């Protein structure tokens, strides 16, 4: 997939124009790899308490569990060191998101306590001088349980909150008979809700000496295990915690579910029946094993990955039909798309926003015109393009990794002469999880492998503008200024390396710095080039003519230098 090889050459322009339209409809379909709105999660980690000693592990526990849930295709909301107001608002907002979802999960790490038979989660701002303060300064487990119960299949509350509580010792009792015992009280959730305690009622849990508590360590070990039914998941967690704490801490799960089996990760099919003694022992083919593992899944990306791996499988037609059916459901369930403003409408939109004191709807989202540009590149480079949609962007500020969201391509292939490559990043979450596609062109004479053109969906975490695409071999990706650099080594021959530099065809958040010239000749031309005169004569921007992005871009090439500046000029219609 990532070869250092000679390209076959681009198609003539008439072919690009004639065939570009084939890709437009598919590029604008709302076909995310999975239906994330069917799985929602709220993750809270409280450690920086203001009135009692700090707990070091809960924020780390929450961050790690949040990442695991994202990998399981949950739409995750994370809050850290939350006040009572923060927690109440987050729980209410989450309840709205959970309404009608397939699964709803709340994970809480921090202090929790029982007062008068009811359980409470303690915000960092709590002082709790009296047991009478609990209702105004804490959040009840009952309220949390009600919100997750709105899910259709499973509502799950996971509490790593049974630590030895420093509030109880100094709390005044409003009634002599009102107890504030150790740990949490037993609970009776509704039919579709499970509540998992890190330590059973009336006992306390350890915060641990490592990065995570013993309970969260065990949970992270098993939560992503394929085919592990939810009841058995917590049985394994229980056994690991009891072994790690020498049986001093016993996790406990409250609630009962129906006979329906529930999985966080789709199960792997059971082994085939044992053949007769005289029969030839032939196991199922690789594509058959893969198909058995995914055939009951509702994740579009799994079937796309199956087709890219096994295009000639006997299940290929069925996989295509599953993709078609899942996409139809996702499109039907999706809200109407937000239409971006045309570039020539920017001025009137800005004027309207000034008078109405609201922001214009355009957040530089992927438009039909952007789709045409991407389709033209895909056609010219003979890429097998996936259908994709860029995640909607709210009016709030973009996160630090939003500059990676875009479609990245190159005019040359791997090592300057190999097969073409493209990276499409449709979303980077607030926690740094990048979702998208790696796309590769057909093989050429010197390709490492002879596989046909295709694509692979990926979901990887970005750290310091770097992430890894797990193809074979793996690809290391790094964003440097406005260049997404890919590098890899040949399988079995690590000394043979290949690289390619991709630049954005379209980008959600522009990188302000332009790329430095890569050759001495380009550097000399830039040094000797006359500086652009400032437009101080009129104080108004210069407009460029052209009804399409391509026409305006050609006009902008004569006025400004640098890809990013020309792109902005073409998009806005002025400099």
pTM: 0.50
Burial status of residue 252 (CB atoms within 10 A of its CB: 0-12, 13-18, 19 or more): middle
CB 55 within 8 A of CB 110: yes
Pick the CATH number of 13-30+343-513 from 1.10.10, 3.30.230, 2.40.128, 2.60.120: 2.40.128
Assess contact for 99 and 93: CB atoms under 8 A: no
Rounded to the nearest 10 degrees, the angle between the axes of helix 286-294 and helix 300-309 is 170
CATH 3.40.640.10 fits 36-254, yes or no: no
Return the sign of the alpha-carbon dihedral for residues 273, 276, 281, 284. negative
Domain boundaries, the chain: 13-30+343-513, 36-254, 286-333, 522-575
Strand 433-440 and strand 75-80: the pairing is unpaired
Give the Cα separation of 255 and 195 in Å (integer).
7
Percentages helix, strand, coil for the chain, rounded to the nearest 5? 35, 20, 45
In sequence order, the 6+-apart residues with CB closer than 8 A to the CB of 378 are: 23, 385, 422, 439
The answer to whether the Cα torsion of 81, 85, 91, 97 is positive or negative is negative
CA distance 213 to 90: 24
Instruction: Give SS3 for 504.
Output: strand
C-alpha 388: how far from chain center: 14
Helix (H), strand (E) at residue 80? strand 75-80
CA distances from 226 to 69, 221, 223, 294, 427 (A): 14, 12, 9, 11, 25
Q: Which helix (H) or strand (E) holds 67?
A: helix 57-71
Number of CB atoms found within 10 A of residue 547's CB: 9
Q: How far is it, in rounded angstroms, from Cα 256 to Cα 249?
A: 22
User: Can you tell me the distance from the alpha carbon of 324 to that of 308, in angstroms, rounded to the nearest whole number?
Assistant: 16
Q: Give me the tens of pLDDT residue by residue for the chain, a chain 575 residues long.
A: 544 443 333 444 433 333 444 443 344 333 344 444 689 999 999 999 998 888 899 999 999 999 999 989 899 999 999 999 999 999 999 999 999 999 999 999 999 988 888 899 999 999 988 888 999 999 999 999 999 999 999 999 999 986 667 787 677 665 443 345 567 888 888 778 999 999 888 788 777 778 899 999 999 999 988 888 999 999 999 999 999 988 889 999 998 887 788 999 887 554 444 444 444 444 567 778 777 777 777 766 677 767 777 788 888 888 888 888 877 775 555 444 333 333 333 344 344 444 444 443 435 578 888 888 898 888 888 999 988 888 777 666 777 888 899 999 998 899 888 899 999 999 888 778 888 999 999 988 878 888 888 998 888 888 899 999 988 889 999 999 889 999 999 988 888 999 999 999 998 887 654 444 544 544 555 555 544 443 334 445 677 777 676 677 777 777 776 666 777 777 777 76
Query: Does residue 114 sit in helix, strand or coil?
Result: strand
> Cα separation of 154 and 232, whole Å?
15
């Amino acid at each position: 997939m990532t070869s250092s090889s000679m390209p076959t050459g681009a198609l003539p322009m008439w072919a690009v124009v004639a065939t570009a339209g084939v890709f437009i409809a598919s590029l604008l379909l709302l076909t995310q790899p999975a239906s994330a709105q069917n799985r929602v999660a709220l993750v809270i980690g409280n450690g920086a308490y203001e009135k009692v000693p700090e707990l070091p592990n809960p924020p780390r526990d929450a961050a790690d569990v949040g990442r695991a849930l994202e990998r399981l295709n949950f739409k995750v909301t994370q809050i850290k060191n939350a006040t009572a107001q923060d927690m109440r608002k987050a729980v209410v907002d989450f309840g709205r998101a959970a309404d009608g979802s397939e699964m709803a999960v709340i994970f809480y790490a921090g202090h929790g306590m029982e007062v008068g038979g009811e359980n409470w989660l303690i915000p960092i701002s709590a002082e709790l001088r009296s047991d009478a303060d609990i209702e105004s300064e804490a959040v009840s487990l009952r309220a949390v349980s009600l919100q997750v119960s709105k899910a259709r299949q499973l509502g799950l509350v996971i509490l790593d909150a049974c630590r030895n509580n420093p509030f109880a010792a100094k709390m005044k009792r409003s009634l002599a008979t009102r107890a504030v015992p150790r740990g949490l009280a037993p609970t009776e959730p509704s039919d579709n809700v499970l509540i998992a305690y890190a330590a059973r009622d009336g006992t306390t849990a350890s915060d641990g000496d490592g990065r995570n508590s013993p309970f969260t360590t065990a949970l992270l070990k098993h939560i992503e295990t394929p085919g592990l039914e939810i009841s058995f998941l917590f049985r394994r967690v229980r056994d690991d915690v009891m072994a790690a704490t020498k049986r001093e801490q016993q996790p406990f799960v409250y609630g009962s579910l129906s006979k329906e089996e529930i999985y966080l990760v789709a199960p792997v099919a059971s082994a085939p029946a044992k053949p007769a003694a005289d029969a030839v022992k032939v196991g199922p083919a690789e594509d058959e094993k893969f198909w058995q593992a995914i055939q009951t899944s509702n994740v579009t990306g799994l079937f796309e990955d199956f087709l890219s791996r096994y295009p000639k499988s006997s299940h290929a037609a069925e996989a295509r039909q599953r993709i078609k059916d899942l996409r139809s459901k996702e499109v039907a369930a999706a809200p109407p798309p937000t239409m971006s403003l045309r570039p020539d409408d920017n001025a009137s939109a800005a004027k309207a926003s000034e008078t109405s004191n609201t922001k214009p709807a355009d957040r530089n989202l992927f438009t039909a015109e952007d789709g045409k540009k991407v389709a033209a590149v895909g056609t010219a480079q003979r890429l097998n393009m996936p259908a994709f949609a860029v995640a909607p962007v709210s009016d709030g500020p973009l996160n630090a990794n939003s500059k990676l969201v875009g479609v990245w391509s190159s005019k040359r292939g791997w090592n300057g002469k190999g097969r073409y490559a493209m990276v499409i990043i449709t979303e980077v979450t607030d926690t740094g999880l990048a979702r998208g596609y790696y796309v590769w062109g057909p093989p050429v004479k010197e390709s490492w492998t002879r596989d046909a053109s295709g694509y692979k969906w990926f979901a990887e975490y970005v750290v310091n503008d770097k992430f890894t695409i797990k193809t074979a071999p793996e690809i290391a990706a790094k964003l440097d200024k406005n260049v997404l650099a890919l590098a890899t080594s040949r399988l079995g021959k690590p000394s043979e390396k290949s690289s390619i530099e991709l630049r954005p065809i379209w980008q959600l958040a522009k990188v302000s710095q332009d790329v430095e010239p890569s050759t001495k000749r380009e550097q000399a031309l830039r040094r000797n080039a006359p500086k652009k005169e400032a437009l101080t004569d009129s104080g108004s921007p210069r407009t460029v003519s052209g009804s399409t992005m391509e026409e305006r871009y050609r006009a902008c090439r004569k006025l400004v230098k640098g890809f990013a500046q020309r792109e902005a000029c073409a998009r806005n219609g002025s400099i």
